[in-house]
Amino acid sequence: MNNYILAVETSCDETAVAIVKNGTELVANAVSSQIDSHKRFGGVVPELASRHHVENITVVMEEAFQTAGITMDDITAVAVTEGPGLVGALLVGVNAAKALAFAHDKPLIGVHHIAGHIYANRLMNEFEFPLLSLVVSGGHTELILMKEHGKFEIIGETRDDAAGEAYDKIARTLNLPYPGGPKVDELAQKGNISIDFPRAWLEEESFDFSFSGLKSAVINTVHNAKQKGIEIKNEDVAASFQASVVEVLTEKTWRAAKKYQVKQVIIAGGVAANKGLRKGMEEKFRNENMDVFFPPLSLCTDNAAMIAAAGYIAYEQGHRADWALNANPSLDLENYGNKIK
């Protein structure tokens, strides 16, 4: 019999519902993006995001079922992002998922958002362990080691800003419209790496990251140039900034991959769509006997397909949530993995 996992994801500004068949086959991936609504504020307004989720949730559910051509009777279990994320936003998804599961007497599964980002790749390629994943997004910069399904070991993380956050701030400094990350990437493609921005390597053995120093250096450079009336091209600033980010991300990922002798490297999260990062990783790993995977664009940004893919593993491993499931904005990835036995 086929296993169908329906998943709901509302941790930030995308209302998403997806259905995945047998853990790896995507049969519906409905996403209602709120970018247009938040754009005028230059960032996500949490209360507004929560309101949109309530407006959209049943519409997006319906769309997913229409695409999949199945009904709730066919669904094996309902998975939902439990955290981390914006608490008000998460709550809408958690309660909608509970209602759906309850109405049809289906098992309920809480899923960690980052586990989802990693498992998005399993919709494309089967995992081989040990596996290293670099999760880079507006909220996360983490190196995660997996030795088996459903278990996560954080070996490195950012000590200040997430990579995506740094991108957004640089975009604002360069007066680029929200969301700025992709725009910086675009500009960087046209510029020269002419400014030597710092790279934060931290302690020799550390796989942690830090982007706040780089961020300040970029802002100061732009600011000083303006004051002195020196013209520097935005393209060059973007290219030089991106070069610094990409070098640190690729170098640390490469070192970790070598140290743990991994078979696969997975780049996940919104920043995985970055062209500079893709190129940098491909070059760095060209001569290594490891597979480097980037999910397709639609699976990089927040979506529910990834939650369904991670939810499938949790389901198979016997993880069940009860009706008291709550949103947990600071859900810990390693603890979450240990809950699944």
Partner 1 sequence: MNVLAIDTSNQLLGVALWKDNELKAEYTANIKRNHSIGLMPSINQLMKETDTSPKDLDRIAVAKGPGSYTGVRIGLATAKTLAWTLNIPIVAISSLELLARNIHNDKAFVSPFFDARRGLVYTGLYQRDTNDMKLVEKDCNILMTDWLTELQKLSSPVVFLSQDLEQHKKTIEEYLGENAVFPEPLLHFPRAGELAYLATKREADQTHTLTPNYIRMVEAEAKWLEKQKQDRSNHE
208 known ligand binder: no
Token pair of 7 as six digits? 């998943």
192 known ligand binder: no
Segment near Zn ion (CB under 5 A); pick from 36-44, 183-191, 287-295, 298-306: 298-306
Question: Closest distance between Zn ion and the C-beta of residue 81, in Å?
Answer: 9
223 known ligand binder: no
Asked if residues 156 and 256 have their Cβ atoms less than 8 Å apart, the reply is yes
Token pair of 112 as six digits? 């960690």
Q: Which option in partner 1, Zn ion, none does residue 302 bind, with CB closer than 5 to 8 A by kind? A: Zn ion
DSSP state for residue 176 in the 8-state scheme: P
Q: Which option in partner 1, Zn ion, none does residue 100 bind, with CB closer than 5 to 8 A by kind? A: partner 1
Q: State how far the Cα of 312 lies from the Cα of 77, in Å rounded to an integer.
A: 8
Count of residues touching Zn ion (by CB under 5 A): 2
- Cα-Cα-Cα-Cα torsion 298, 304, 309, 311, nearest 10 degrees, comes to 160
245 known ligand binder: no
92 known ligand binder: no
Decide whether 45 or 154 has the Cβ nearer to partner 1.
Answer: 45
Burial class from Cβ neighbours inside 10 Å (0-12, 13-18, 19+) for residue 287 reads exposed
Q: State how far the Cα of 62 lies from the Cα of 298, in Å rounded to an integer.
A: 20
Query: For residues 85-144, which are near Zn ion according to CB under 5 A?
Result: 137
Asked if residues 149 and 127 have their Cβ atoms less than 8 Å apart, the reply is yes
- Confirm or reject binding of residue 14 to Zn ion (CB under 5 A): no
> Reduced to 3 states, what is the DSSP secondary structure of residue 96?
helix
Q: Which option in Zn ion, partner 1, none does residue 102 bind, with CB closer than 5 to 8 A by kind? A: partner 1
168 known ligand binder: yes
Residue nearest Zn ion by beta-carbon distance: 302
Decide whether 58 or 194 has the Cβ nearer to partner 1.
Answer: 58
Decide whether 172 or 275 has the Cβ nearer to partner 1.
Answer: 172
Burial class from Cβ neighbours inside 10 Å (0-12, 13-18, 19+) for residue 96 reads buried
Q: State how far the Cα of 157 lies from the Cα of 313, in Å rounded to an integer.
A: 24
> Reduced to 3 states, what is the DSSP secondary structure of residue 225?
helix
Question: Closest distance between partner 1 and the C-beta of residue 214, in Å?
Answer: 29
CA distance to 11, 268, 305, per residue, from 295 (Å): 20, 7, 12
| Chain positions contacting partner 1, by CB under 8 A | 40-41, 45, 47-48, 50-51, 53-55, 57-59, 61-62, 72, 88, 91-96, 98-100, 102-105, 322-327
Among 271, 302, 311, 331, binds Zn ion (CB under 5 A): 302
Asked if residues 215 and 159 have their Cβ atoms less than 8 Å apart, the reply is no
Question: Closest distance between partner 1 and the C-beta of residue 71, in Å?
Answer: 10
Q: Which residues are annotated as a binding site?
A: 113, 117, 135-139, 168, 181, 185, 274, 302
* Binding site residue list for substrate: 135-139, 168, 181, 185, 274
Annotated binding residues for Fe cation, written as ranges, equal 113, 117, 302
Residues that bind Zn ion (CB under 5 A): 137, 302
